[in-house]
Amino acid sequence: MDIFAQLQKVFGFSSFRSNQQEIVEAILAGKDVFAVMPTGGGKSLCYQLPASLLSGGCIVISPLISLMKDQVDAALAIGLEAAYLNSTLPQNEQQEVMARMQRGGYQLLYISPERLALPGFLQRLKKSPFSFLAVDEAHCISEWGHDFRPDYLALSRIREEFPHLPLAAFTATATEKVQEDITRRLHLSDPLLVRASFDRPNLFYQVLPRQQVNKQIEGAIREHKGEAGIVYRLSRNDVEKTASYLSARGIAALPYHAGLEAGVRQRNQEAFNRDEVQVIVATVAFGMGIDKSNVRFVIHGDLPKNLESYYQETGRAGRDNEPAHCLLFYSRGDFFRLRPFIEQLQDKQERELGLQQLRRMMAFAEQPMCRRRAVLAYFDEEYGQENCGACDICVHGTEEIDGTVDAQKVMSAIYRTDQRFGAGHIVDIVYGAKSKRIVSLGHDQIKTYGVGKKEGKGHWRSVIDALLAQGLLQAEGGEYPLLKLTAAGEEVLFGKKKFIHHCILAPEEVVPQEETHDRELFARLQLLRREMAEEEGVPPYVLFSDRSLHEMCCSYPENDREFLAVNGVGQVKLRQYGASFLAVIRDYLQEHPEIEKVIPAVVEQKGKETPHKGLQASDTVTETLVLAREGLGVAEIAARRGLKPITIAGHLEQIFRQEENDLDILRFIEPDLLQELTAQFVANGSVRLKPVVESMAGRADYDQARIVRGYLQGSGNIL
């Protein structure tokens, strides 16, 4: 088996990522595998590639019911025979899938763990000709994992039921303890153990003090114009408030939390997946069901409960290995919001572990050490470099600040009010707020009242957080803790010691870097990708990742061979989408003759290394033109060529856009429909298909609109 040829032909990749090759080879050799690989590390290819080569294919057991359809769509898009089987399918479709399963009709079949427990299902599965099984999100089987699911415990029977089939278990996050637990519960036999680095070099980690959080979140999103992002908030109420705040300010944002109706949650998630909204604002309920590759930022408006959750949630960003930003807004008050949830745990050991993990999360936010080093240390991984170059601490640096005077102002206010008030009240005193409570208590008369007017409330809150972090203050009580001076704090208050803390230096003015890709062309390709995805009913990233579009905007491919050299383009995607994308790129190059196209050496080399991907015998659009001249319609051409009707419609669009062609538009579109579609394109003042098709209210589909658009663009440039 030539795994490299299959990697290029089907998946469109010229090389494996770290650890992928040895996992693929182990599965093909019939070995068990346990692999811990970070989000975006390419876990799915590790079982998809062997499944494409082995006669029996693979059963994939996954808890991600909301993600299964997208996973199957992505597999179908590269030519794999794939399906899913879960409770969302109508009963008749479930029966069809199971019948085909027993005939060996799938290379990949995704099932939920609950499915294994249904009466008779295991017996039907055992009669089906599969070559191996894969368990995704394997940490769910461990009670020590951050996302333990009791229904996953049934997977411990897999080895007993399928003693001769190789079993491959995958997870993006597992400590050494969780790893041992998973291996034991699944009864893996002498498995290949792969523990890849948890480092995600493309992610930039940053922590900022939380002040006016919704305003801060809005500002961060504005720096990512047109880019998709996730905002995590702690409570459902916070989610609703933030989503409403952003929407009112013109940012396309939708909420997602467990309190919403299931249908609303599903629609909101799909709108985000399909780039119909820029931002999803969510609780942690929005987690494992996301495979969107082009998330460019993840913002936490509140502190996560532990570093494992933080790693998983930030891991939603940059799955395409393009740069992404992870921003956390932090306040010490988060500890007191999260602590009650942990203290409700019945098991004392779990309770103590939860508090320990929460304090470690706080240390991540407060201590002036490399953020990347702190994250990796949680997973028992040592980061070898002094400067990661991709976190606020390493990039901006820190300096020691003598904050003794500010500390004394705060502690004096605490001391003079008998240590009976919380942080908010103390900040109001130092700031000089004119609240009724301060006046009624006479706190506007104490010596430190109003001494910090110039600095603002946010500054004094950060001073209190720093004092708490260094143990000079302690917070006592439940939901509204009171500030108390410690013995060390009293030494600072009375001038016996200094208060020194680290401050992240403000970033220097950034000189705009030259774009590494053509932004105008990227926008055009994004639009085409979104339209074609809408027509097929799949998320845009299923067609091509942002990384693939970026490469197109750097290398400007103009023929099949150059298009195949783009990362993520295989033979099937070339046939289905190549003509449409190449046409946009060619038109763009004609509009911009000043562009000097340079084919990178790696692209040319890739073409030479992959003779099976070489030049096609004839241009695919020309083949469609020949059949159209013979009198065949869209559906007939699609059937003859083994392509989708959408692809043929795209070919006809390109043909009609040419100034000279001998096809009659009325062979494909009725006169009345042509007239109506023309009027809608003109009325909408846009070449976008979606508003035109929607305005037709079912009287025309996307294929027809696409053909008419090409005709109008080529007949006197009406559009």
Predicted confidence at residue 536, as pLDDT, reads 86
Cα–Cα distance list, 109 to 88, 154, 574 (Å): 15, 19, 25
Contact 253, 280 (CB under 8 A): yes
Closest CA to 649 of 630, 668, 675, 676: 668
Predicted confidence at residue 478, as pLDDT, reads 65
Mean pLDDT of 291-306: 92
Tell whether the model's pLDDT for residue 327 goes beyond 90: yes
Closest CA to 45 of 53, 486, 675: 53
Query: What secondary structure, in 3-state letters, does 407-425 show?
Result: HHHHHHHHHHCCCCCCHHH
- Structural tokens at position 481: 């803790």
Q: Tens digit of pLDDT for each residue in 463-478? A: 888 898 888 998 887 6
Cα–Cα distance list, 718 to 607, 655, 682 (Å): 39, 16, 8
Specify the residue for token string 């040319």.
Answer: 604
Give DSSP secondary structure letters for 256-295: E-TTS-HHHHHHHHHHHHTTSSSEEEE-TTSSTT---TTE
Tell whether the model's pLDDT for residue 455 goes beyond 80: yes
Predicted confidence at residue 506, as pLDDT, reads 61
Q: Tens digit of pLDDT for each residue in 359-398? A: 899 989 988 889 999 999 988 888 888 889 899 999 888 8
Report helix, strand or coil for 168. strand
Q: Could you give the CA distance from residue 702 to residue 262 in angstroms, rounded to a whole number?
A: 29
Other C-beta atoms lying within 10 Å of the C-beta of residue 405: 10
Summary mean pLDDT of the chain: 86
Predicted confidence at residue 686, as pLDDT, reads 61
Tell whether the model's pLDDT for residue 431 goes beyond 90: yes
- Structural tokens at position 545: 């990742």
- How is domain 519-714 classified at the CATH fold level? DNA polymerase; domain 1 (1.10.150)
Mean pLDDT of 19-42: 90
Cα–Cα distance list, 238 to 229, 251, 301, 304, 536 (Å): 17, 17, 9, 14, 35
Predicted confidence at residue 41, as pLDDT, reads 77
Closest CA to 659 of 587, 589, 594, 595: 587
Domain boundaries in the chain? 3-195, 203-395, 400-504, 519-714
Closest CA to 81 of 50, 106, 109, 53: 106
- Structural tokens at position 40: 């975006």
Most confident residue range from 236-240, 532-536, 678-682: 236-240
The one-letter code for the residue type at 148 is F
Query: What pLDDT band is residue 507 in, cutting at 50, 70 and 90?
Result: low
Cα–Cα distance list, 341 to 214, 239, 305, 335, 479 (Å): 24, 18, 10, 10, 11
Q: Could you give the CA distance from residue 621 to residue 578 in angstroms, rounded to a whole number?
A: 10
Query: CB-hemisphere CA count at 13 Å for 641?
Result: 29
Predicted confidence at residue 369, as pLDDT, reads 87
Tell whether the model's pLDDT for residue 610 goes beyond 50: no
CATH topology identical between 3-195 and 203-395: yes
Tell whether the model's pLDDT for residue 510 goes beyond 60: no
Report helix, strand or coil for 226. coil
Length of the chain equals: 719
Predicted confidence at residue 607, as pLDDT, reads 37
Tell whether the model's pLDDT for residue 612 goes beyond 70: no
Q: Could you give the CA distance from residue 422 to residue 335 in angstroms, rounded to a whole number?
A: 14
Tell whether the model's pLDDT for residue 40 goes beyond 80: no
Burial 122-134, CB ≥16 within 10 A → b, else e: beebeebebbbbb
- Structural tokens at position 173: 């996050």
Q: Could you give the CA distance from residue 560 to residue 613 in angstroms, rounded to a whole number?
A: 9
Predicted confidence at residue 152, as pLDDT, reads 67
Predicted confidence at residue 14, as pLDDT, reads 85
Looking at per-residue confidence, does 447 or 63 come out higher?
447
Mean pLDDT of 32-42: 86
Query: What pLDDT band is residue 514 in, cutting at 50, 70 and 90?
Result: very low
Report helix, strand or coil for 566. coil
Class of domain 400-504 (CATH, top level): mainly alpha
Most confident residue range from 344-358, 414-428, 507-521: 414-428
Mean pLDDT of 554-573: 91
- Supply the DSSP symbol for 8: I
Burial 411-420, CB ≥16 within 10 A → b, else e: bbbbbebeee
Q: Could you give the CA distance from residue 705 to residue 669 in angstroms, rounded to a whole number?
A: 9
Tell whether the model's pLDDT for residue 606 goes beyond 70: no
Bridge partners for 192 per DSSP = 33
CATH number, domain 203-395, options 1.10.1740.110, 3.40.720.10, 3.40.1210.10, 3.40.50.300: 3.40.50.300
- Structural tokens at position 434: 């004119």
Q: Is the domain defined by 3-195 classed in CATH 3.40.50.300?
A: yes
Closest CA to 693 of 685, 702, 706: 702
Q: Could you give the CA distance from residue 89 to residue 91 in angstroms, rounded to a whole number?
A: 6
CA angle 462–467–472, rounded 5-degree value: 170
Looking at per-residue confidence, does 183 or 232 come out higher?
232
Predicted confidence at residue 595, as pLDDT, reads 77
Mean pLDDT of 9-36: 92
Of the listed ranges 108-122, 209-223, 590-604, 646-660, the one predicted with least confidence:
590-604
Tell whether the model's pLDDT for residue 160 goes beyond 70: yes
Of the listed ranges 264-278, 307-321, 366-380, 677-691, the one predicted with least confidence:
677-691
Query: What pLDDT band is residue 659 in, cutting at 50, 70 and 90?
Result: low
Q: What is the share, in percent, of the chain residues with pLDDT greater than 90? A: 41
